[in-house]
Amino acid sequence: MIKINSKHNKETKQIVVKAYHEGVCVSEIVKQFDIPRSTVYSWIKAHLQSENYQKESRLGDYHKLKEKIKKQEIMIEILQRAYGASELPVRQKLYFAESIYSEYSVHAICDALLLSRGTFYNHLKRNKRYNAWYENWI
């Protein structure tokens, strides 16, 4: 059977949990409210596991991430315009992509340079084949 603590009302519990989330250390809360440390921690744990808190945090995280994505998409668009990624000849894009190939993923490079991954892979394959042929010819 669950024991209901009638000594502390719901408002006190909410105030204590709110103070903890605002950065007040538990020892100060214990002194201020004259509540055992274990009780404070049990209230905090119960609040963190509550359905409302989890929904609020997930929804807040979702909105923050959505805003961050929007900002980064705008930054990428600005950088692509500033460096003329869409106006560069394909050959220049390929040589630049090849120079940073070991540092970044192919997907990221090709997306940033507005370059087809197939074109990039064909470029890499052709260069190796051409270099091998040239070395055998000499």
Whether the CB-CB separation of 123 and 130 falls below 8 Å is answered with no
Q: How far apart are CA 33 and CA 30, in angstroms?
A: 6
Predicted local distance difference test score (pLDDT) of residue 31: 92
What's the rounded Cα separation, in Å, for the pair 40 and 15? 11
- Mean pLDDT in consecutive groups of 10 residues from the start of the chain, 138 residues: 59 88 89 90 85 68 89 84 78 88 88 90 78 53
Eight-class DSSP state of 130: H
Q: What is the pLDDT of residue 8?
A: 78
What is the C-alpha separation between 20 and 16, in angstroms, rounded?
6
Distance of CA 40 to the CA centre of its chain: 32
Q: What is the pTM (predicted TM-score) of this model? A: 0.44
